Amino acid sequence: MALFLNGALNGADPWLGLPMYCWALILWWLIVMPAAWFILKRIKWDPFVKFHGLHYARKNDSSAAIIVDDMGDAEMVAEHIAKCIFSYGEDDYEIEISELPLHLIKIGGIIAALLGVILTFTGQILLGIPFILCGIIGYCINRVVPWIYAKPFWYPTKYLKDIDWQKAILYKIGKVNFDCKIAQLLQDGEWDQYPVVNCGGIPVEIVFDSNHWCERRSRQHKAIVKSTRPWNKDNPNDQIHTYTKYQRYLNEGKIEAPAEIKKDYLVPWVRIDLGLPFDLKNNEWAGKLAQMAKTKENKPSGEINKYTLWLIIGGIGSFFGILIIRTFFKLVFH
């Protein structure tokens, strides 16, 4: 038997007698791959943690949003985090399954399982075990079929009917988020979008979230979700799926604000006067003007004269250089 590469990697190790390529493969998957994964993540992904929303926005084909809280802490998130109250992917769904003759399949399962047991006891174990397994699956058909349906099921297809199954599987594997499209649909197209700037081809909105409503793990967010569900159940034609609509209904008194949240934010006059000053006076930046004047005064002489020293050094260097060349030529040619 001719060994690949003349057996260069088939050398047996002294401990278990395994060929070296086995160890190479084991080390590759146990050390190299996890290390590469970790290092690349640390270098290429983690430093930009506050801007990951830009990536998710591109993936979801949505806009991004810079969320700023009352302390000025900001983060760039994908649109669904800034706007949608619900995470539809986390909801439980009753999947519609085509009707099956469940009783017949269950009876068939019981028969197959019994047959498998008999075969096993008569010594035909290899034949008996598959029969038993088929029997169990047949008996639990009402659980197995939904499980199979749920695996390739991608939650937005429940709401959005124009997604074909190939795209659904691709989007499911890619973990694409369609919450914005679903929320928009459930609110009869009502949607607020105010892009302020463009960042890498993605429209970016600025959101002031004074009370941390948009933080998925905050108690405020959980309270909003809790208080919105009964409303949506009672008002299927006027559902609330976005924070703006929720805020509007709070202001209109249609919904009672949960104890955990504040429905408004007070901007004090000190802040307002600093943010939108009546008249900016020159004396507020007189120091800057003085600095500019000083820089200007020093500029004409400073600009050109900074080369003076280099010119003198260059002259002296040239002097010795020319002397050396002349001496060399004299020694060689005379």
Judged by beta carbon, residue 147 or residue 285, the one nearer another protein is 285
With tokens 């900074």, the residue in question is 306
Find how far residue 89's CA is from the centre of its chain: 15
> Considering only residues 13-32, where is the footprint of another protein by CB under 8 A?
17-19, 21-22, 24-25, 28-29, 32
| Closest by CA position to 219, among listed 256, 252, 259, 247 | 259
Nearest distance, CB of residue 297 and another protein, angstroms: 5
User: CB of residue 107 vs another protein: minimum separation in angstroms?
Assistant: 43
Give the separation between CA 329 and CA 54, rounded to whole angstroms.
Answer: 68
Pattern 271-300, another protein, x by CB under 8 A? xx-xxxxxxx-x-xxxxxxxxxx-xxx-xx
User: How many C-beta atoms surround the C-beta of residue 79 within 10 A?
Assistant: 27
Amino acid at 130: P
Please identify which residue in 51, 153, 191, 231 interacts with another protein, judged by CB under 8 A: 51
* Residue 305 touches another protein, criterion: CB under 8 A: yes
Contact between 82 and 191 (Cβ < 8 Å): no
Closest distance of CB 272 from another protein, Å? 5
- Residue 161 CB neighbours (<10 A): 8
Q: Which of 78, 141, 186, 261 binds another protein (CB under 8 A)?
A: 261
Q: Which residue in 1, 126, 259, 332 binds another protein (CB under 8 A)?
A: 1
Q: Kindly tell me which residue out of 126, 259, 309, 332 binds another protein, with binding defined by CB under 8 A.
A: 309
- What's the rounded Cα separation, in Å, for the pair 51 and 162? 31
**H-helix or E-strand spanning residue 198:** strand 197-199
Give the footprint of another protein on residues 198-257 (CB under 8 A).
Answer: 198-202, 204-211, 213-214, 243-244, 247, 251
> Residue count at the site for another protein (CB under 8 A)?
122
Q: Is 326 in the site for another protein (CB under 8 A)?
A: yes
Give the total residue count for the chain: 334
30, 31, 33, 102: which one binds another protein (CB under 8 A): 33
The greatest distance separating any two alpha carbons of the chain, rounded to the nearest whole angstrom, comes to 118
- Residues 121-180 touching another protein, rule: CB under 8 A, are none
* Cβ partners under 8 Å of residue 118, min gap 6: 128
